[in-house]
Amino acid sequence: MSALNNPVIAVIVSLVIAVGYFTLVDHYLMEMQGLDFWYLFRQ
């Protein structure tokens, strides 16, 4: 736990969790509606 309290490690771990979580939310919640979240990137 002490390593996590290191600000640099804390920011990196937090960013990985938050960015990963929101990417999954965007992808799957669009897919549930039958829509493609990555529509523009596939053009």
Partner 1 sequence: MGVVTRKKLFSIIALGAMVVALLLPIVMALPSPATGEEAPAAEGAQKEGEKVEKARDVYYKTEGIVVGAPAPKTTDGPADYPRYNFESRVLLWFANQQHLYYGSFVLAVPIFCMIIEFMGVVTKDKALAKRYDQLAYDFIKISLTAYSLTAILGGILIFTFLTLYPTFFSYLSSIFRPVMHIYALMFVAESGTLYIYYYGWDKMKEGFLKWIHLSMSVILNVIGTLLMFLANSWIGFMMSPAGVDEQGRYLGNIWHVIHTALWNPLNLHRILGNMAFGGGVVAAYAAYKFLAAKTDEERAHYDWMGYIAMALGVAFLIPLPFAGYWLMREVYAYRQQMGITLMGGLLAWLFIIQATMIGILFLSTNYYLWQAMGRMRGAEKYQRYIKYLVFLLACGFMVFITPHTMVMTPAELKAMGGQQHPVLGNYGVMSAKNGGINVIITTTVLSFVWYMRGNKISTVSWARFGNIFMGVFFACAYINIIFLAIYGYYIPANVRVGLSVPQVATTLSCLFFMFTLNSMMMKGAKQLGPIEWGKISARSQYALIMLATAFTWMMGLMGYIRSSVRLFWHVNEIMRDNSPWAYTHTVGFAANVISANVLFFWISILFVFWLGSLTAKKAPVEAKVGVPGAIPQPAGSH
Which residues of the chain form contacts with partner 1 (CB under 8 A)? Answer: 1, 4-5, 7, 10-11, 13-15, 17-19, 21-22, 25-26, 29-30, 32-33, 35-37, 39-40
The C-alpha atoms of residue 9 and residue 41 are separated, in whole angstroms, by 31
Residue 12 CB, nearest distance to partner 1 (Å)? 10
The minimum distance between CB 1 and partner 1, in angstroms, equals 5
**Cα angle, residue 35 at apex, residues 42 and 27 outer, rounded to 5°:** 75
Instruction: Report the distance separating Cα 43 and Cα 28, nearest Å.
Output: 20
Min dist CB 42 to partner 1, Å, is: 11
